[in-house]
Amino acid sequence: MSDLVQLTKMDGVAVVTINNPPVNALSSAVSAGIAAAVAQIEKDDAARAVVFIGAGRTFIAGADIKEFGELTSGKIICRESLKPLLLRIEDLRTPVVMAIHGTAFGGGLELAMAGHYRIALSSAQVGQPEVKLGIIPGAAGTQRLPRLAGVAKALEMCAEGSPVKAEDALKFGILDRLVEGDLLTGAIAFAKEVAAKAAPKTRERSEKLGTPEQNAAIFAAARETARKKQRGLLAPLAAIDAIEAGSQLPFDEACKKEEELFTKCLFSDQSKALIHAFFGEREVAKIPDVPKEMPTLGVDSVGIVGAALDRGLASIQKNYANSVKRGRFTQRFVDERLKLIRPTLDYSEFAGVDMVVEAVFESMALKKEVFSQLDRVCKPGAILATNTSSLSIDEIASATSRPQSVIGTHFFSPANVMRLLEIVRGAATGKEVIATCMQLSKKLSKVGVLVGNCMGFVGNRMFGPYRREAQFLVEEGASVEAVDNALYEFGMAMGPLATGDLAGLDVGWRIRKEFRHLQKPGIRQAFIEDRLCELGRFGQKTGAGWYKYDENRRPSPDPQVADLIRQWTSAAGIPRRQISVEEIVERCIYTLVNEGARLLEEGIALRAVDIDIIYLNGYGFPAYRGGPMWYADAVGLKKVCERIREFQQCFGNWWEPAPLLQRLGGQGKTFAEFSGWQGAAA
């Protein structure tokens, strides 16, 4: 028996304990350990029942995703299928009870469903989140789950990947009982209770599978939802196909179909990109010179500067009311939260807070004024954070006597929705301040990414040229809708011009005015957006920007804008031409990549994956393309660099390829190799 799987006996019940910290991932070695335990149980005539349980914080959180990465990158060539092992467990003579705490996800739930009974602590969750990795359940999850929970619930779980709480899993028939107190004690008691009964095999059940006539509408609706909610993703549709096969074919045949779809998904570019994003999201929490053990500061109270009080509180109340309406929070929970917020117009009330987040508008003079006030009133050691999206942290810190306490916390808008938190390190920012903010991001269920200090940091410094290129394309003859559609079809959540309308065109206009003196002479500047702002077209909030908007903020193309663009560009002497979708996508995406390469070489971004995680969580970059740097690596940096050189010749020197891109392209290397982090493929 391996260290990863132990077989013991309690009161005549065989207990298989999986112990593979931190999440008991079902690696090949764990599977081998389980197989060895099953072999012993098969020979043990005295065992009355069997309990499977996870050691540590969880049951089994799924197959070992690292092994998938190694498989698709060719590092290992074969991974044994779990299915035969699950059949052996299901065929054991004695009842098998799966005892679940923490999470039974992916292969973990598939193993649990091969048992004859499933009991869980009420805090547990079950799920088939494989689609989030671009794959589908590959160990008969798409076959056993509909037999327990019904086709509709199985479709939802396998195609959307969301977890299900124990209480709901009980209602849907995935679990048989919830237990309180010590799980092992509860599991042994349950096992003794069912020991004498015939063991029900999930794969032999069919009462919840429905008929083709009953299921037709359910499958059609699931496909429509998947196409709409998970636009561009292949795995949700594959999961639906596998479940449909299961509702029509014998178990063994449907399992073969599942295997075929699973393998196709696993070797797809989408899955590689999504697995990169999974490990990337965890990697960004690792900061080379701020170790895990770095002490953090307690943050129990936070001051926020920069809301118009009545308006600010009204929008907080409105957001909470929406959450109550959607059933996310109870009214009581919201009332308690609202009581914790105290509006004030007096800086001295910040004297006792552990942290202040300044969120006034983007004016250096104003921010410095705020920080000098904070420096005067805040207690020593309080974290002084600025929510600036572009201004220098060091200059803001210079308005205080404690630059070590000053840091950027760039919350992406709308902050109650967006997951990204760009954490900006100034030259003097203390390591414990950084560690505290990284920890805080996790507490707020956000993804914190540490970046260096420069104008626009990582996200907006790349976004500037990206949006500028979109405007150049419009100046040269592409329609507003053609540019937005091309990038939407590429997978971006929204086109670049529509994004400007959403954020407010006046924001960039104000920043451009503030920094006009820094513009390099002779470099082409986009001008349409400034002209639109001069006409008061600030985007959605004024009912007009690149598009016009109805009272529900629904956009439609504005012929007036098209006319204005034609007039303005002809007056500027810019010839108009037909522009292909391919050119639109390449120019916009490669400009992101080129700026990303500069940020990487300058050390503003710690690793290429940090840039990817910023773009996946803050800018609507399609997760199945892995982020701009991963995407460029996949296209090949040599090819990207050559295309950028062509753009440089056609359009001008702002397209000069970044030195790092030229170097890596020439050497046949990737950004991931340069960063020394290649995720699951490493």
Q: Which residues bind ligand 3H9 (CB under 6 A)?
A: 22-23, 25, 61-66, 82, 103, 105-107, 110, 129-130, 133, 137-139, 141, 279, 282
Is 128 in contact with 109 (CB distance < 8 Å)?
Answer: yes
What residues contact 81, with CB distance under 8 A and at least 6 apart? Answer: 138, 139, 259
Task: Name the minimum Å distance from CB 671 to ligand 3H9.
Answer: 20
Q: How far is CA 142 from CA 107, 155, 480, 609, in A?
A: 11, 8, 43, 32
- How far from each other are the two terminal CA atoms of the chain, in whole angstroms? 29
Rounded to a whole number of angstroms, the minimum distance from the CB of residue 447 to ligand 3H9 is 11
Q: Which is nearer to ligand 3H9, 277 or 483 (CB)?
A: 277
In the chain, the amino acid numbered 139 is: A
Sort residue 392 into left (φ over 0), alpha (ψ -120 to 50) or beta: beta
Backbone angles phi, psi at 54, to 5 degrees: -100, 140
If you ran DSSP here, which 8-state letter would residue 117 be given?
A: E
* Amino acid in the structure at residue 80: E
Q: How far is the CB of 22 from ligand 3H9 (least distance, A)?
A: 5
Of 359, 357, 306, 361, give the one whose Cα is nearest residue 513.
361
3 state DSSP class of 92 = coil
Nearest distance, CB of residue 175 and ligand 3H9, angstroms: 18
Q: Where are the alpha helices (DSSP H) in 379-458?
A: 393-397, 431-443
The torsion angles phi and psi of 269, rounded to 5 degrees, stand at: -60, -35
**Closest distance to ligand 3H9 from the beta carbon of 261 (Å):** 11
Nearer to ligand 3H9, 274 or 544 (CB): 274
- Residue 142, classified by CB atoms within 10 Å of its CB into exposed (0-12), middle (13-18) or buried (19+), is buried
Query: Is 31 or 390 the residue whose CB approaches ligand 3H9 more closely?
Result: 31
**Closest approach of Cβ 305 to ligand 3H9, in Å?**
31
Q: How far is the CB of 141 from ligand 3H9 (least distance, A)?
A: 6
CB of 109 to ligand 3H9, least distance (A): 8
- Contact status, residue 13 vs residue 51, Cβ threshold 8 Å: yes
Pick the catalytic residue from 67, 110, 422, 529: 110
Shortest spacing between CB 106 and ligand 3H9, in angstroms? 2
Of 582, 509, 263, the residue nearest 362 (C-alpha): 509
CB nearer to ligand 3H9: pick between 102 and 628: 102
Minimum distance from CB of 25 to ligand 3H9 (Å)?
Answer: 4
Residue 103 or 617 having the CB closest to ligand 3H9 = 103
Residue with Cβ nearer ligand 3H9 (105 or 631): 105
Least Cβ distance, residue 108 to ligand 3H9 (angstroms): 7
Going by C-alpha positions, the residue among 515, 490, 503 that lies closest to residue 583 is: 490
Residue 24: CB partners within 8 Å, gap ≥ 6? 18, 30, 54, 55, 56, 58, 59, 60, 61, 108
Residue 259 known to be catalytic: no
Determine the length of the chain.
Answer: 682
Going by C-alpha positions, the residue among 111, 104, 107 that lies closest to residue 88 is 111
CA–CA separation, 396 vs 385, rounded Å? Answer: 10
Give 165's strand partners. Answer: 125
Cα→Cα distances 71→57, 64, 79, 86, 257, Å: 28, 11, 7, 21, 20
Residue type, 152: A
Give the DSSP H or E segment for 218.
Answer: helix 212-229
What is the rounded CA–CA span in Å between residue 68 and residue 79? 8
Instruction: Report yes or no: 624 and 233 within 8 Å, Cβ to Cβ.
Output: yes
Type of residue at 527: F
Among 90, 130, 160, 529, the active-site one is: 130
In sequence order, the 6+-apart residues with CB closer than 8 A to the CB of 624 are: 134, 232, 233, 234, 269, 270, 273, 274, 491
Least CB distance to ligand 3H9 at residue 64 (A): 4
Query: Does residue 224 have an active-site annotation?
Result: no
Q: Report the nearest approach of ligand 3H9 to the CB of residue 610 (Å).
A: 14
Between 107 and 618, name the residue whose CB sits nearer to ligand 3H9: 107
Per 3-state DSSP, the chain is made up of helix, strand and coil in percentages (nearest 5) of 55, 10, 35
As given in the structure block, the two tokens for residue 626 are: 């892995």
Minimum CB distance to ligand 3H9 smaller for 86 or for 458:
86
Nearer to ligand 3H9, 26 or 437 (CB): 26
- DSSP string covering 173-205: TS-SEEE-S-HHHHHHHHHHHHTTSPPPPGGG-
Tell which residue, 109, 81, 97, has the closest CA to residue 24: 109
Query: What's the half-sphere exposure (Cβ side, CA atoms, 13 Å) at 373?
Result: 16
| Closer residue to ligand 3H9, CB minimum distance, 106 or 628 | 106
What are the distances in angstroms from CA 196 to CA 48, 93, 192, 564? 8, 11, 8, 82
The smaller minimum CB distance to ligand 3H9, of residues 158 and 393, is found at 158
CA distance 285 to 621: 20
Residue nearer to ligand 3H9 on the CB measure, 82 or 423: 82
Q: Of the two residues 65 and 287, which places its CB atom closer to ligand 3H9 in the complex?
A: 65
Active site residues: 110, 130
